[in-house]
Structure 1
């Protein structure tokens, strides 16, 4: 079993568990493969909209991160397959900058994710998953919960279509992250046409989906980020699913069943 979405001590909003604690936990729960997918640094000039400015890795740490994972990959090669990876944020309007960053470091990345945490509204960049209060602000700006979902899915369509070069990740991270606060803002997205358009595009492009179970751990979500209608669509269009614990500490790694 592979876990394709694991963070590291380089994550500014995670724990300080060291690499070996993550690796030993993965071995203990019976995983045979794991990918470290730390948040790739934002392009120069992009201002992190999170209040703590802690969404991604400091660019000064990127080389050290890549070297550390490579070293542990070699050290543990007889016990578990470790992949060097990253979680790359799609930022509408910064496609060329993201491509340039991937061109610079992509040949060192073996297995990565393309995720959307941020949507652009009237020229401003807004976090989808930061807090209940911020999600309410999105609803106020766009006019309805459905409009927030559609804006999020439309941004993902742009991400899937974007030319990010040779090293563009081929797996989409936590596709239904927009449901992080669904217990507070319930919305029945079954039959959503924009989502089905997105899934058809994922299939056409030959991408995988991150079967991200971290939503189960979130107070206002209580479901994996591929669940319900989205899981039905993934099965309908035969989209490959890869387990992602989205672990930000070692104890969150487990040998989960995929829906």
Structure 2
């Protein structure tokens, strides 16, 4: 499948990615014939939220945010004849931190061309777990919820909360990788998500949101399919929900990943 846009790319500002330069991503995009790319770095987490991953490196720091936007503005000018570059963020929806997230969006919204709303952190009682950090962290999440089925239920409940949340005028209109819960599915094949998909897509359609059609899962050894998988992508397409390809690249070589295994849209 050929595409003209990659709507989900990370940058050297990502503390858990590579140090590949912005130029390396842009030059790759130009060489692939893309017309447009969006840099969607992980937005700073709320200051009163404790990042649960060991390295505390899930997102860009608040102190780097201005430099991030200034860098992209310079790149837009440098490459204006070659490709359209959009300034974006991947915004974490964290249950219980909606007010702080709205404040961030109110402050950064005027500088955003594009954005994604994603769920990485799930709340169990008063603690949070990053569901895609590692197999061990995902196993601990299942232990906390009581079963793989309850973990899936919690994930889709949180996604629905994110769709319905009031995050202000600059709330992202695209929902990120809606089957990220399946990253470790070959280790937990008993986890069933299908019953959650219909209500989720209905909510996405009602809110006139789009979906991140994300190739990163195809490269994950215990997933080996896009987020969402192609059956769900077809269902979204039938409902008139736009699919936006995203490589979710954390290094330049990850760009275009998954395309061979994804449906046309």
Gaps of 5+ in 1: none
SS of residue paired to 1:44: coil
**Are the counterparts in 1 of residues 89 and 112 from structure 2 also a CA contact under 8 Å?**
yes
**2:169 equivalent in structure 1:** 166
**Are the counterparts in 1 of residues 148 and 191 from structure 2 also a CA contact under 8 Å?**
no
SS of residue paired to 1:220: coil
> Which of 19, 26, 32 is equivalent to 1:16?
19
**Are the counterparts in 1 of residues 184 and 223 from structure 2 also a CA contact under 8 Å?**
yes
**1:35 equivalent in structure 2:** 38
TM-score, with structure 2 as normaliser: 0.94
Runs of 4+ with deviation above 6 angstroms: none
Distance 1:158 1:244 in 2: 23
Q: 1:34 to 1:12 in 2, by over 3 A?
A: same
Distance 1:188 1:137 in 2: 15
TM-score, with structure 1 as normaliser: 0.96
Distance 1:191 1:91 in 2: 23
Distance 2:12 2:193 in 1: 38
**1:214 equivalent in structure 2:** 216
Q: 1:100 to 1:27 in 2, by over 3 A?
A: same
**Are the counterparts in 2 of residues 191 and 229 from structure 1 also a CA contact under 8 Å?**
no
SS of residue paired to 1:24: helix
Gaps of 5+ in 2: none
Distance 1:164 1:232 in 2: 29
Distance 2:249 2:106 in 1: 27
**1:202 equivalent in structure 2:** 204
**TM-superposition CA deviations, 1:7-51 (whole Å, max 9, x none):** 000000000011101100111112111000000001111100111
Q: 1:116 to 1:207 in 2, by over 3 A?
A: same
